Amino acid sequence: MGIGAEERLILEDYLRERGQKMTRPRETVLEAFLKLERHVTAEELFAAAQRLDPSIGQATVFRTIKLLADAGLAREACPDEGARRYEHSYKHEHHDHLVCLGCGAIVEFKDPAIERAQDAIYVKYGYRPSNHRLELEGYCPVCAKKKVGV
């Protein structure tokens, strides 16, 4: 079974249910996406997909990454600025981010206490939970040392 076979099936099912089609370009984008393990922009994904198939168009990449997000295979990360970024979603459990403002390093973490406290908030206001995003910003040990006294 090739890499991404499972994800391919998910996408196929998702498309079929909506009368849409599985195509070669979509496969290519999916394959490129699965190989990239970090938060990627459409730009980066486009470059990676082109390496697999030089004839692929930029518009297709934009269209397909949105499909992947809808199908539950990708998930939007929330950048402070610049282009939208996506990360893996399927079999990549929800997590929060700790971002270094100095070097851009990203720690992914999950904290039961935070999750529990968030659930309590939903209950308190009577909201039905969907998803959430938590970004902690700060300076990693290395960068913090460089900026002592700032």
b/e map 33-62, b = 16+ CB within 10 Å = bbeeeebbbbebbbebbbeeeeebeeebbe
Scanning 2-10, 15-23, 31-39, 90-98 for contacts with DNA by CB under 7 A, the matching segment is 15-23
Least separation in angstroms between residue 44's CB and its own copies is 19
Size of the site for DNA (CB under 7 A): 28
Indicate which of DNA, its own copies, none lies near residue 50 (CB less than 5 to 8 Å, by partner kind). none
CA distance between the termini of the chain = 53
Cα–Cα distance, 21 to 64 (Å, whole number): 12
Question: Is 19 among the residues that bind DNA (CB under 7 A)?
Answer: yes
Contact between 107 and 143 (Cβ < 8 Å): no
Question: Site residues (CB under 8 A) for its own copies?
Answer: 76, 78, 80-81, 84, 98, 100-101, 107, 109, 111, 113-114, 117-118, 120-122, 125-141, 144
